[in-house]
Chain A
Amino acid sequence: MYRFATYVWRDTIRWKRAPLNVLSTLAMPAAWLIFMGLVMPVKYDNYLDFVTPGILVLTMLTSSLGAGSSIMFDKTLGYLNKFLALPSPRESILIGKIVFITLRGLMQSTVILIISILIGATIYPISTYIGMYILLTLFGISISALGTTVALYLDNHDSYAAFQAFVSMPLYFASTALIPMNEMPDALRYIAEFNPLTYAIDGIRDIAQGIIPTFSICFLIILAILIMIVCSWKFRSITIG
């Protein structure tokens, strides 16, 4: 507990002291929301309410994939080797990274929620927001664990950036972020049905309408557990070669 909190502390300070990083983490999601929510042709009663969950999950996705580049930095700059030679449990490196990245993603989500309210989205009761945060946390843990695992396999930033681009855009457009499932072309719908983004986004929409999305929550919990198991197994095997 103490050790992974130390890694979180370190990443937080490093992030906090780079003003440009902070600005871009907070301004990017705002820009997405404003462009997508206000500029897109309004077909629904409140497209902003429809699109906000999509933007929340997109932000969580890009932010969580950042976990991979963060561990890649630690790996290529030699920090990781120093950490591995320490007596603290090696998994705490991994957990610290996932916790920091997920918390940072939740912070961005908060910015989006505040701005969405400012530009006209519905205000929900507190319990709704708590539900949204639970789903976003589960999703964030899964994706950041996935990102770190992939980064452990790859050996440089270029390959990781390629992976990031390769994964994030298709996943996003093949999800229910921008259009509902029943309006999708068939081919896209098949993909969307297996896409974890769909479960996160639809789950958040259900919560907004007062429905508890049991299936989405279960799906995301199982996904998070599975990825964490693979991730820690991979981490152990790669760090003792």
Chain B
Amino acid sequence: MTDIFTSKLSKSYEDVLAVNSLDLSINNEIYGLLGPNGSGKTTTVGMLTTLLSPSSGNAQVCGHDVTTEPKTVRECISYVPQYMAVDIRLTGRENIDFYAKLYGIRDKSERKKRIDYALDIMDLNDRADDLTKTYSGGMQRRLELAQALTHQPKVLFLDEPTVGLDVIARKMIWEHIADLKKNGITIFVTTHQMEEAERYCDRVGILKKGVVVKEGTPSHLKSALKSIITIKSDGKMPNILPDNVDFIGNENGSVVYASDNGADMLPSLIKKYDEAGIRVYSSMVRDPTLEDIYLMSVGTETVDTEQFNRAQIRRIIMKG
């Protein structure tokens, strides 16, 4: 049985095709779905977690169809949405207890056992009886993961799990996620953080306008590019590039090129800049990263079709 399996899964909103013929097959791994805002990540997660119904195609989670057996699907999954939603006037323990009860664990001693386990695995024991409003962002996120673990899910869906967290908290969250995978949980995560995806995901899929344009292990995807040249200049780039050098995008004010042999091609590329009369401030040859693959796959156009959402702004203000 495949934990997550989709075939030609599509979702359209009126005339917009948000997810287009998605085929996924995911099993006991950390799978990262990457893509720009509005590329269909959240819609995909919505369909897999039974929050949205597919327009066509089918999806199975834990061997059950999301449309015909939504309740059975919900019994074997946990979903942690992008925006943190822990009850700040409840203690950490009460927050988990609340979910444990909703998952239908009625036996008090069994519930206590599971809560203690979840607190323990997320390193929240010391602060379990404090009100959640005194928790840091990282702790609140860990609490959400702890809530999600009480019913021992087979598949865990995480929407942007590290958004808004500092470096150390991010690292901690990912280490916990990696531990969960070792315990046999399949993890489906959406993220914008390329370095994190590169380091922690077993496989990634890059989504562009509802279509998976690249899929594979980060190292396999990176092997498609030999080397990367980045050039910082006074803003323009030459119209004509040497053969074997491809423009892939912009990054921190530099132009990024891919080449089979960056070290050899760098002088001829700089020569093109000279010929075009563009001043080069600095240049560098480096190994490709997942971010390069991502930029190459989705292009540099900003695909921002997400509606400006007042509620999100308010949420940010309230959290502050």
Cβ–Cβ contact A86 & B314, under 8 A: no
CA–CA, A41 to B22, complex, Å?
Answer: 72
Q: Point out the residue from A79, A82, A155, A239 that lies within 8 Å of B79, measured CB to CB.
A: A82
Contact with B along A31-52 (1 / 0, CB 8 A): 0000000000000000000000
A-B contact count (CB 8 A): 85
Cβ–Cβ contact B89 & A18, under 8 A: yes
Chain A residues with Cβ below 8 Å from B85 are 77-79, 81-82
**In the complex where A3-B102, A6-B98 touch, is A85 in contact with B87 (Cβ < 8 A)?**
no
Cβ–Cβ contact A241 & B52, under 8 A: yes
Chain A residues with Cβ below 8 Å from B84 are 78
Q: Point out the residue from B94, B98, B103, B314 that lies within 8 Å of A76, measured CB to CB.
A: B314
- Taking the complex as formed, is B270 at the interface, i.e. its CB lies under 8 A from any CB of chain A? no
Q: Is chain B's binding surface mostly helix, strand, loop or mixed?
A: mixed
Cβ–Cβ contact A76 & B311, under 8 A: yes
Distance (whole angstroms) from the CB of B55 to the closest CB of chain A = 11
Chain B residues with Cβ below 8 Å from A2 are 101, 104, 106
Q: Point out the residue from A81, A84, A87 that lies within 8 Å of B104, measured CB to CB.
A: A87
CA–CA, A82 to B81, complex, Å?
Answer: 7
**In the complex where A2-B104, A3-B104 touch, is A10 in contact with B53 (Cβ < 8 A)?**
no
**In the complex where A10-B87, A76-B314 touch, is A85 in contact with B49 (Cβ < 8 A)?**
yes
Q: Point out the residue from B83, B102, B106, B318 that lies within 8 Å of A83, measured CB to CB.
A: B102
- Interface range, A side: 20 to 34
A interface with B by C-beta (< 8 Å):
2-3, 6-7, 9-10, 13-14, 17-18, 76-79, 81-88, 155-157, 239-241
Residue contacts A-B, CB under 8 angstroms, 22 given: A2-B101, A3-B104, A6-B101, A7-B102, A17-B89, A77-B85, A78-B84, A78-B315, A81-B51, A82-B79, A82-B81, A85-B79, A85-B157, A86-B103, A87-B75, A87-B103, A87-B104, A88-B104, A156-B310, A157-B314, A240-B53, A241-B52
Known: A2-B104, A87-B104. 16 other contacts (CB 8 A): A6-B98, A9-B101, A10-B87, A10-B90, A14-B89, A17-B89, A78-B81, A78-B84, A82-B81, A82-B85, A85-B49, A86-B99, A239-B51, A240-B51, A240-B53, A241-B52
Question: Which 10 pairs from chain A and chain B are nearest by CB?
Answer: A85-B79, A78-B85, A76-B311, A87-B74, A6-B101, A17-B89, A87-B75, A78-B83, A79-B85, A85-B49
